[in-house]
Amino acid sequence: MSTSSSSAAEIDFKREFLRIFFIIFFVLLICFSIFFVNHHENNKYIIETLELNGSVEEGDALFKINCVGCHGITARGLVGPDLHSITTRLNDKEIIKQVTGGLTPPMPSFEIDPANMSNLLKYLHSLE
C-alpha cells in the first residue's frame, strides 16, 4: 500500500516537473521567435536601405524637417553633436541604427521608410 502511494506521488511529481518544463520551454520558444522575427525585420530594413541610391537634395530636405532642431541648420551641432565627417566614424549600418533605434535619448527613434533613410544617408555622406 505504502509503495503504491509513494509511486503515485512520484508520478505526480514527474507530471508536475514535465508541466513546468514544458511551460518554460514554450515561454523560451516564444521569446526566441519574437527576437528572431525582430532581428530579421531589422536586417531586411537595413539591406533594403543599403540597396537604394538616395538623393542628397531629398535627404537635405528631410534633415531640415527632422534633425536641425538638435543638430543645427548646417549640421554643426546644437543639443546633438556635429555630424560633419560622421560617415568616417560610423558605417551606414550604424547610422541607420542610430536614426531608427532610439537608443541614445534625447534623440528619438525615427520611423523612416528605406527610400527616405537612403536619402538621409546620402545627405550625411555629402557632409564629409
C-alpha cell of residue 110: 525615427
Q: Least separation, in Å, of the C-beta of 96 and ligand HEC?
A: 9
Cα–Cα distance measured from residue 21 to residue 80, given in angstroms and rounded to the nearest whole number: 49
Among 43, 91, 104, 126, binds ligand HEC (CB under 6 A): 104
Identify whether 108 is preceded by a cis peptide bond (ω within 30 of 0): no
Number of residues that bind ligand HEC (CB under 6 A): 20
**Residue 52: half-sphere exposure toward Cβ, Cα within 13 Å:** 19
Site string for ligand HEC, 54-93 (x = CB under 6 A): ------------xx-xxx-------xxx-x--x---x---
Applying CB under 6 A, the residues found at the interface with ligand HEC are 66-67, 69-71, 79-81, 83, 86, 90, 95, 98-99, 104, 106-108, 110, 120
